Amino acid sequence: MPTPFPPRQAASTSWSGAATTKPTTTSNSEWRCTRCDKLLGVSRDGRMHLRFARGHEYLVGFPVQATCRGCGTLNNATAPAR
């Protein structure tokens, strides 16, 4: 039986081709993927809060770089959203 979802595109391995973040207008400073809009993290108190499966959580400083788990796009956040 065929899979009902289309295959994901492979992420580019080039660091120079990284996407930059969209300016956020929400009050909770969400960091979202530039391609698929999946939530990557939340900016709190000058640090980025990242949460992954199975209870893995990280509070990291800026700049932040992460690969979207949904589409594979490399995303960058250089400073906390205001």
Question: Model's pTM, two decimal places?
Answer: 0.63
Before 6, cis peptide (omega within 30)?
Answer: no
CB 42 within 8 A of CB 49: yes
Q: Where are the chain's structural domains?
A: 15-77
14-69 pLDDT per residue, tens? 444 455 544 444 456 999 999 999 999 999 999 999 998 888 999 999 999 999 99
Beta strands in 1-82 (DSSP E): 19-20, 30-32, 39-44, 47-51, 57-60, 64-67, 74-77
Pick from 53, 14, 50: which is nearest to 31 by CA?
A: 50
Running DSSP on this structure, what letter comes out for residue 8? P
